Amino acid sequence: MLPRNYKNMVFLTGKKKPYIMAHRGNPTVCPENTLASFQQAVEDGADIIETDLHLSKDGEFVCIHDATVDRTTDGHGPVADKTLEELRKLKAGCGFEGFSRESIPSLKEVISILPADVALALELKIDGFLEEEICGRLVDLLKESRILERTLIISFSLPRTQAMKAVEPGILTGWITLSRKRPIKGPDLLGPAWPILMANPLYVLWAHGQGQAVCALDNQTDSRLWLYRFLGCDAVLTNDSGKTARKLRRNR
């Protein structure tokens, strides 16, 4: 028996499954975790925009995957040691031609470009999200932006998502795993790595029986898209939302 919030758990009423979750936007054609990348994913037809969340030195929520700026910008050092203003001055083009003006966006900026029919998945990257004050500020921002109901909080760390639930019981959470072969209870959505679904083809059915949605975690989603559709996955994570949308015939 599915819980009453199951339909909300997968965000978007009226859209076909599996939903397309754009991993860091569309990092195949744009520098990852930039406004250009997120906008491209929206134009591709993505249903959910996924991004990573860190805190700047002055406590602002910023969208970047790594704990340092070295890999994705022309800067050096930890994200946490730089203010939002300092982070914005860095070039985040990642070597992509034509994107030299891209920078590390704040969460507010990402929210501002999301259409009303696109959901948001936020991966919590640091243990700062174990703190009630920080979780509370994030919840307040999501409420003020009127996007709380279509936001999913995800992490490899259960305590981080549980801390968010403690502050806002109504928020949707997801747990990502690379090894757990059985669905655990608690999270609204489970993100198992693709080998888990191969090893346990009943995983999705099991999770649905517990009232949970499933999003397959795969760096080569399109090659196994047939499998995720066959198993009944609610969403798929993709690094090329345009290609996945074409395969599913979902282009905007």
**Taking the domains of the chain in order of start, what are their residue ranges?**
6-56+114-248
How far, in Å, CA of 141 to CA of 220, rounded?
Answer: 33
How far, in Å, CA of 79 to CA of 66, rounded?
Answer: 8
Element (H, E) at 198: helix 194-199
On the question of pLDDT at 2 being above 70, the answer is no
The residues carrying an active-site annotation are 23, 65
pLDDT tens, position by position, 182-217: 999 999 999 999 999 999 999 999 999 999 999 999
What DSSP designation does 221 have? G
* Amino acid symbol at 139: V
**How high is the mean pLDDT of the chain?**
94
Query: What is this structure's pTM?
Result: 0.95
> What was the pLDDT predicted at 4?
43
> What was the pLDDT predicted at 252?
61
> What was the pLDDT predicted at 15?
85
* CB of 212 closer than 8 Å to CB of 175: no
> What was the pLDDT predicted at 1?
34
* CB of 220 closer than 8 Å to CB of 28: no
Fold held by 6-56+114-248: TIM Barrel (3.20.20)
pLDDT tens, position by position, 130-187: 999 999 999 999 999 999 999 999 999 999 999 999 999 999 999 999 999 999 999 9
pLDDT tens, position by position, 23-39: 999 999 999 999 999 99
Residue 238 β-bridge partners: 22
pLDDT tens, position by position, 62-119: 999 999 999 999 999 999 999 999 999 999 998 899 999 999 999 999 999 999 999 9
> What was the pLDDT predicted at 251?
63
On the question of pLDDT at 13 being above 80, the answer is no
Residue 3: pLDDT band by 50, 70, 90 thresholds? Answer: very low
